Amino acid sequence: MSGPIRSAPASWSACRSSPAVPGAAVQMHATTVAVAGRGVVITGPSGSGKSTLGLNLMALGAQLVSDDITCLTPEGAEVIARPPHGAPAGIEARGVGLLRADPAGPVPVGLVIDMAQEEQLRLPPPRRFALLGRDMPCFHKVARGCFPAAILQYVRHGRFD
């Protein structure tokens, strides 16, 4: 293993549009993982648990797309998530450090997790999140140990509405 992953230089915080992807890239304060070929975008303020939830999802088989900053690009009816140009493939684990990860390629977003809002209902109604003009399914933060497993199950198989 080579040296430690260093703090991200300012040069990779800019999102660059790919020539193969029409539309301007937008930067979002979010951690994104890939599950079954779909992106799970975890958004929220600093300290809300984005990286922790991403790391828990990775422990269950998800792959890291990006940590802390995600580049989003509209493509037809979808939004494509990718890491910022030149970003190291790693995720922050508080109290441990920056951990290396096998990166997933760009993925279409299938779900948004809003860590700024905590779910209060046992069986919440379907929620939506507007992402670059596209209507995405959304879950609010759930403070229970089953949340990462429930996210994976939802992405793979959906839910009864």
pLDDT digit string (tens) for 105-159?
899 999 999 999 999 999 999 999 999 999 999 999 999 999 999 999 999 999 9
One DSSP character per residue, 51-119 reads: HHHHHHHHHTT-EEEESSEEEEEEETTEEEEEPPTT--SEEEETTTEEEE-PBP--EEEEEEEEEEEE-
Q: Which domains does the chain have, with CATH numbers?
A: 23-156 (3.40.50.300)
Residue 6 is predicted with a pLDDT of 28
Residue 14 is predicted with a pLDDT of 53
Tokens of 44: 């929220």
Instruction: Give the residue-averaged pLDDT of 60-89.
Output: 94
Tokens of 8: 């991200």
pLDDT digit string (tens) for 5-61?
223 333 334 565 544 445 678 999 999 999 999 999 999 999 999 999 999 999 999
Residue 23 is predicted with a pLDDT of 65
Read off the pTM. 0.87
Residue 15 is predicted with a pLDDT of 66
* Amino acid (one-letter) located at 149: A
